[in-house]
């Protein structure tokens, strides 16, 4: 199996699903002819034609509304919202239209819709081009949130998201676009976490870029005699707490590492579920997140802001 970049894994998933299913369409700002600002989707328009892959006006609400309506009409739209920071502009359509349709229609029709978006800090893009959108949507029933950390998962989960009959927010961490890994033609199962490193002393549950930081931290910790189990949650809504609970049964210690503000994020949801269902297994549980303020631009500030490998290791050793 060949190694490929995360961005190309995304592109392959789109390409294969566009080829497989004529109802799949893909649109967004500067995604077709220019191939996207992160050079992810180049070539898809040439291959699948301008009726199925096209550039839109800078009209996020129209993009999301059009995606919703076209899904009611039988298409399986994939849209790109260039930066996750722009998702508030489409939130009405996602929350009040797409997420509710299946229920309100009494299951007449579900909305197979994928929103691809580039998220996350570390690229010096500043406070309004670096946010994680998960907390805005984690309390929205009817939406799935998928957050891959590797090219292989990105491809397999995007294929799964496109085939899923429900609205899926597919979050692509900007700092992962250039990482390389293997990817095949598999279709993953949404909602399953994965233990990516075994260890008996402490559980680190995280996602996206955090997985790479956690794995690096685990190496540091191992050198000091602490064996961390690292869980890549992969889907954040619904989140696979069963896998976390199983790990915590063994380690009794849990840190949830979230790239996102401390208050009100998905790490809180993981901790809450663990408290509700695994209280007896816990000796210690806490979160490591970004602080509660906007994302700074200046490199030393931004670096300090994001919980990286060192901070994770230190946090664990400091308990």
Catalytic residue list: 129
**Quick check: helix, strand or coil at residue 300?**
helix
Contact 229, 199 (CB under 8 A): yes
Q: Which residues bind its own copies (CB under 8 A)?
A: 85-86, 88-89, 91-92, 94-96, 99-100, 103-104, 127-128, 134-136, 138-142, 237-239, 260-261, 263-269, 271-276, 279, 282, 284-287, 291-294
304 touches another protein (CB under 8 A) = yes
Positions 55 through 94 that interact with another protein (CB under 8 A): 55-75, 77, 85-86, 89, 92-93
172 touches another protein (CB under 8 A) = no
Q: Which one, 29 or 153, has the nearer CB to ligand TPP? A: 29
- Cα–Cα distance for residue pair 51/70, rounded to 1 Å: 13
70 binding partner (options another protein, its own copies, ligand TPP, none; Cβ < 5 to 8 Å by kind): another protein
Question: Minimum CB separation from ligand TPP for residue 137, in Å?
Answer: 18
62 binding partner (options ligand TPP, its own copies, another protein, none; Cβ < 5 to 8 Å by kind): another protein
- Cα–Cα distance for residue pair 200/249, rounded to 1 Å: 10
Of 5, 17, 60, 259, which one interacts with ligand TPP (CB under 6 A)?
60
Walk across the sheet containing 228-232 and list its strands: 194-197, 228-232, 202-206, 253-261, 284-290
Nearest alpha-carbon partner for 289 in 213, 192, 193, 201: 213
Of 44, 78, 82, 230, which one interacts with ligand TPP (CB under 6 A)?
82
16 touches another protein (CB under 8 A) = no
Q: How many CA atoms lie within 13 A of 261 on its CB side?
A: 14
Question: One symbol per residue from 179 to 218: x for binding another protein (CB under 8 A), - otherwise; what is it?
Answer: ----------------------------------------
Q: Is 83 exposed, middle or buried (0-12, 13-18, 19+ CB in 10 A)?
A: buried
Paired residues of 28 in beta bridges: 55, 80
Q: Tell how far CA 247 is from the center of its chain.
A: 22
- Cα–Cα distance for residue pair 307/319, rounded to 1 Å: 16
123 touches another protein (CB under 8 A) = yes
Q: Which one, 68 or 137, has the nearer CB to another protein? A: 68
Piece of the chain touching ligand TPP by CB under 6 A; list 64-72, 82-90, 160-168, 204-212: 82-90
- Cα–Cα distance for residue pair 90/297, rounded to 1 Å: 25
The first and second tokens of residue 106, run together, are 């009494």
Contact 31, 168 (CB under 8 A): no
89 touches ligand TPP (CB under 6 A) = yes
Contact 162, 17 (CB under 8 A): yes
Question: Minimum CB separation from ligand TPP for residue 69, in Å?
Answer: 17
Q: Which one, 284 or 297, has the nearer CB to another protein? A: 297
């Amino acid at each position: 199996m060949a190694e490929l970049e995360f961005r190309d894994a995304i592109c392959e998933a789109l390409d294969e699903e566009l080829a497989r299913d004529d109802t799949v369409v893909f649109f967004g700002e500067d995604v077709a002819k220019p191939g996207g600002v992160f050079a992810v989707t180049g070539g898809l328009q040439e291959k699948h034609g301008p009726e199925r892959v096209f550039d839109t006006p800078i009209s996020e609400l129209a993009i999301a509304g059009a995606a919703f309506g076209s899904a009611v009409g039988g298409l399986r739209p994939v849209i790109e919202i260039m930066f996750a920071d722009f998702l508030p502009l489409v939130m009405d359509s996602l929350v009040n239209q797409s997420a509710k349709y299946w229920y309100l229609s009494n299951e007449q029709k579900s909305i197979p819709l994928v929103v691809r978006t580039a998220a996350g800090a570390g690229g010096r893009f500043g406070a309004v081009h670096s946010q994680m959108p998960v907390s805005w949507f984690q309390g929205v029933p009817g939406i799935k949130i998928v957050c891959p950390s590797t090219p292989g998962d990105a491809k397999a989960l995007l294929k799964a998201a496109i085939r899923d009959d429900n609205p899926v927010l597919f979050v692509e961490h900007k700092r992962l676009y250039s990482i390389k890994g293997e990817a095949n033609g598999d279709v993953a199962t949404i909602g399953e976490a994965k233990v990516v490193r075994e260890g008996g002393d402490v559980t680190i549950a995280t996602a996206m870029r955090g997985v790479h930081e956690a794995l690096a931290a685990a190496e540091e910790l191992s050198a000091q005699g602490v064996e961390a189990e690292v869980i890549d949650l992969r889907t954040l809504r619904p989140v696979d707490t069963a896998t976390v609970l199983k790990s915590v049964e063994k380690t009794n210690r849990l840190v949830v590492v979230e790239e996102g503000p401390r208050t009100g994020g998905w790490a809180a949801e993981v901790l809450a579920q663990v408290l509700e269902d695994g209280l007896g297994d816990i000796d210690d549980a806490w979160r490591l997140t970004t602080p509660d303020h906007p994302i700074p631009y200046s490199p030393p500030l931004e670096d300090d802001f994001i919980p990286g490998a060192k901070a994770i290791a230190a946090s664990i050793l400091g308990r």
